[in-house]
Structure 1
């Protein structure tokens, strides 16, 4: 037991001795490296200070001060910013659409066969103008129900009046009068229902003759822009529209405005509309409606522009160019060469004293030629570095 304990203590002392020797060996090396790093840093700072003194400038955070003898100041061009009247303007594409209230697709109200056509392509029609004629079993049934209910209502009315006269002369019975009045109200209701059933045929029951074919008429004023009528054609109840009537003297242009430009859009403001195929026919439009819901995929809002189209030059489905202009407003414009970008920030060098410049963050808007709109960061009358700012940038 004593021998084992002694051996263990001896081994521990040997390990401790080796660790101490290694520590004593590395400490001078680490100290030497630290000293060399410190000397290098001091040398770098001294070298930068010497270079700054040679170039003739001093730095204080984001501020650079140049001496009168600085070779940098000779390379700088200054510019005084000022408020200027500015109109934000941009172009987007749009699609010509017919105004929904001025557009009608006319189909057969019931199954039947076309027996006559009254219109042709390009023809002008008015509300109530005949479009086509058709025979329809459903229409004949509605006609019969109308005339039968009308006759029954008339007979019920006569019977009611007769029972009233008999009772007034003392020879009638109250119960029979009540029955006559009930029958009258029932027949009157049936006649009203039959009349309502005819309204979907857009026909005037007072001028209708029993057994006559159904004449389908136009609900609006406009021009026949599509005609698929075929004499003798049999139509089902769910058949597509045969005739399209459109009033195109005014049209809508549907355009998309990006999220960042929405604040420029104002209802009833004027816009310029131009067709690529008709460069000489530029016209003005008026913003009719701004959609309240944004398209999440395109990050844009649909606007509808009402435009005169008396010459019918704008056709539904046609692509056009829409030019928007904001109302004139005072804005500060600066040369684009004066703006620098670092990561997500934009900045300029502003002169704040004699040979003294400070780096200031700015927010920019639209670009106009060689200038850019400054939204924030600069005030009217301030002086910025127009050209040569790259020499100041090198010292940052």
Structure 2
């Protein structure tokens, strides 16, 4: 009797050996090193555009870091000129005040002394004037003594000098308060950006400022420019400013001042930029990037779409034959929304791929 043995493995081998292989898809590119040839009639060819490199007028620029600051004349720290207890506050944080507006009031014995000195000096002048006129009248009628008249005149002049000094001291405090109270007023117009006033607290004459006022409609940006680049910058030059907080906000300013000193450690020079700040978005202490214009010169400028990225390097595709392109590493410079300046790697007359680079294969 014959025995038939059926093996699944054998059946599988028969089945696989009978299957026809499908032809592989034809490659679109021929790659040799960094050179790529696109084969005839490949759809990629229709997606590629090229352009001949030329030199154009390109603006040079210098970018440096900066910090936003208040303008000193638009900033005031207010402390009490006398020791005393706070009896009233007129302001709150964020409030706008005008120059001369009351800020807070204190009960200040020291101010009472200033008022008393002025009052005493005023009385002394009145008495000295009265005595001087009396001596003049006596001498005029022949019963006075010339020496006493001269002494009275000298005394009168001295008392007037003392009154002038006392009046200047009183006026310096810019207050018409009486009864031992003193009202501290705002020296500038602006916003209350810090308020530490507490009704009832006792302030010493040498205490720290309790109120800070700042006018922030204009601000300074303090930046540092390298010594080698300072020749490109002059007072009044326009600049553009970027802050990380508002990356899409267009900020412009002007060079306000260039320091006369060079920082010996960094070999840089301090430059102050003044910017309008109508919306108060620029806050003191913010970091900013300041770009200065440094003139124009002839340079290679290409469309932004022509520049490709591979790792930490940038490159372009240069046409070397009808359907052949070579990858070339370049060093880009200043960029704009539509163009890129190439500092090295290209020369006028090179033909570059401006569109279609994303369809090209990776090469060495």
Q: Which residue of 2 aligns with 1:285?
A: 253
Structure 1 position 181 matched with structure 2 position 145: no
SS in 2 for 1:167: helix
Distance 1:165 1:132 in 2: 51
TM-score scaled by length of structure 2:
0.67
Q: State which of 262, 274, 282 in structure 2 corresponds to 1:306.
A: 274
Q: State which of 199, 202, 212 in structure 2 corresponds to 1:234.
A: 202
Distance 2:276 2:348 in 1: 48
Deviations 1:253-308 (A, max 9, x none): 11111223222212111111122121232111111011111111122111110000
SS in 1 for 2:261: coil
Q: Residues 88 and 366 of structure 1 are in contact (CA less than 8 Å); yes or no, is this contact kept in structure 2? A: no
Equivalent residue runs for 1:129-208 within 5 Å: 129-203=101-175, 207=176
Cα drift, residue 184 of structure 1: 0.5
Equivalent residue runs for 1:1-396 within 5 Å: 84-203=56-175, 207=176, 209=178, 211-328=179-296, 330-331=297-298, 367-368=333-334, 369=340, 371-372=342-343
What's the Cα RMSD here?
2.9
Structure 1 stretches lacking a partner, 5+ long: 1-79, 336-364, 374-381, 387-396
Distance 2:144 2:234 in 1: 76
Q: Residues 86 and 105 of structure 2 are in contact (CA less than 8 Å); yes or no, is this contact kept in structure 1? A: yes
Structure 2 stretches lacking a partner, 5+ long: 1-51, 303-330, 335-339, 352-364
Q: Residues 132 and 215 of structure 1 are in contact (CA less than 8 Å); yes or no, is this contact kept in structure 2? A: yes
Aligned in 2, Cα 1:332/1:276: closer, same or farther, shift over 3 Å? closer
Aligned in 2, Cα 1:95/1:264: closer, same or farther, shift over 3 Å? same
Distance 1:145 1:318 in 2: 48
Q: Residues 60 and 294 of structure 2 are in contact (CA less than 8 Å); yes or no, is this contact kept in structure 1? A: yes
Q: Identify the structure with the greater strand proportion.
A: 2
Deviations 1:319-338 (A, max 9, x none): 1222222233x346599xxx
How many residue pairs were aligned?
A: 267
